[in-house]
Structure 1
Amino acid sequence: MRNERLKMMITAAMFAGIIAVAAQVMIAIPPVPFSLLTIAVMLTATILPKEYACLAIIIYILLGLGGIPVFAGMTGGPGILLGPTGGYILATLPAVICISFLLDMFGHNKFVAIGANMLSVVIILSIGMVWLKMVSGISWEGAFKGGMLIFLIPDLVKSIVAALVGVVIRRRLVQAKLIRATPL
C-alpha cells in the first residue's frame, strides 16, 4: 500500500513535469499566450486517479509560484499568478477536479471524457477571462474576445484529443498495473 502511494506520487510529479514542458509549447497571442498547457492538464485528469491528478496540478502551480520557470514562456513567480494569465493557471485545479469527478461518477469512457474535458475548457476559459478582466482592467468585451473567444475552438479540439488519447492511455496503464483504476 505504501509503495503504491509512493509510486503514484512520483507519477503525479512526472505529470507535473509534462505539464510544465507542454506550457512551453506556445504561440504568443496577446494578452494571453496559446499553449499546450490545457491539453496536458486534461490528459493528466483523464489518465490519473483524481487525487494524483490534483496533486500534479498543485505541484505545477507551487513550482511556478516558487519562481521555477514552469509557466508559459519559461516564466515563474508570484507575479505571473497575480498577472493577466494567472486565472488560467489557477483554473486548472477546478478543471481537473471537474474532469475527475465526472469520470469517477459516470465511467472512464470516451464519451464521458469528451464531455468532462469540454466542460473543463469552459471552466478554465471562464475563470481566466474574469481574472484577465479584473487584473488588466480591460472591458468585458475585450476580455471575452481576447481571453476566451479566440481560445474556445482550439481548446475544444484539444479537449477531444485529450479525452480520446487519455482514455486509451489510462486503459493501457491500468491493464499493465502501472496505475490503479480505483482510489487507495
Structure 2
Amino acid sequence: MKSAKTYGLVLTAFGAAIISVLAQITIPLPLVPITGQTLAIGLIVTILGFKYGTLSVLVYCLLGAIGLPVFTGFSGGLSTLVGPTGGYIIGFIPTALFMSWYLNKFGYTYVHGLIANVLGMMLTLAFGTIWLKFVADMSFLAAFMAGAAPFILLEAVKGCIAAWVGILVRNRLMDANVLKQVF
C-alpha cells in the first residue's frame, strides 16, 4: 500500500516536471506566446489519467504560483498568474479535469483521446481569452483575435499529437504493467 502511494507521488511529480520542461519551448508573440504547455497537459492527462494527470497539472500550477520558475520563460509567481496570460495557466486545471473525465467516461482510445485533447485545448483558449479580455481591458473581439484566433489550428494539431502519443504511451505502459498498480 505504501509503495503504491509513493509510486503515485512519483508519477505526479514526473508529470509536473514534464509540463515544466515543455513550458520552456516557446515562440514569443506580442501578447501571448506559443508554448509547449498545452501539449504537455494533453500528454500527461492522457497518459496518467484522472487522478495523477490532474494532480500533476495542479502541482505544476501551484509550483509556479509560489514562485518557482516553471512557467514559460522560466517565470513564476502570482504576478504571472494575474497577468495577461494567467487565464491560460488557470485554465489548465479545468482542462485537465474535463479531459480526464471524458477519457474515463468514454475510454482511452485514439478517437476519444483526440476528442478530449482538442476540446481540452479549446477550453484552455477560452479561459485564456476571457482572462485576457478583463486583465488587458480589451473587447471580447480584440481578446479573441489576440488570444485565441491565432492558436486554434495550432492547438488542434497539438491535441492530435497529444492524443496519438499519449494513448500509444499509455497503452504500452499498461501492457508493461507499469500503470496497473495505480489505476
Equivalent residue runs for 1:57-96 within 5 Å: 57-96=57-96
Structure 1 residue 9 displacement after superposition: 1.4
Match of 1:120 in 2: 120
SS at match of 1:49: helix
How far apart in 1 are the matches of 2:140 and 2:181?
42
How far apart in 2 are the matches of 1:150 and 1:180?
40
Counting matched residue pairs gives 183
Contact 1:39 1:158 survives alignment (8 Å)? yes
Contact 2:4 2:181 survives alignment (8 Å)? no
Structure 1 residue 105 displacement after superposition: 0.6
> Are 1:129 and 2:126 counterparts?
no
Contact 1:118 1:159 survives alignment (8 Å)? yes
Unpaired runs of at least 5, structure 1: none
Structure 1 residue 138 displacement after superposition: 1.5
Match of 2:105 in 1: 105
Q: State the TM-score, normalized to the length of structure 1.
A: 0.96
How far apart in 2 are the matches of 1:38 and 1:12?
17
Match of 2:180 in 1: 180
| Superposed CA offset, 1:120-168 (max 9, x none) | 0111000110000111102211100110000110010000010011001
Aligned partner letter, 1:147: G
How far apart in 2 are the matches of 1:143 and 1:5?
43
Contact 1:8 1:179 survives alignment (8 Å)? no
Structure 1 residue 182 displacement after superposition: 6.7
How far apart in 2 are the matches of 1:35 and 1:120?
15
Aligned residues: CA RMSD? 1.2
Structure 1 residue 11 displacement after superposition: 1.1
Aligned partner letter, 1:90: I
Aligned partner letter, 2:159: S
Contact 1:133 1:140 survives alignment (8 Å)? yes
How far apart in 2 are the matches of 1:33 and 1:74?
13
Unpaired runs of at least 5, structure 2: none
How far apart in 2 are the matches of 1:181 and 1:125?
34
Contact 1:41 1:57 survives alignment (8 Å)? yes
Match of 2:143 in 1: 143
Contact 2:20 2:71 survives alignment (8 Å)? yes
Q: State the TM-score, normalized to the length of structure 2.
A: 0.97
Moved over 6 A (4+): none
Match of 1:5 in 2: 5
> Are 1:22 and 2:22 counterparts?
yes
Contact 1:49 1:182 survives alignment (8 Å)? no
SS at match of 2:69: coil
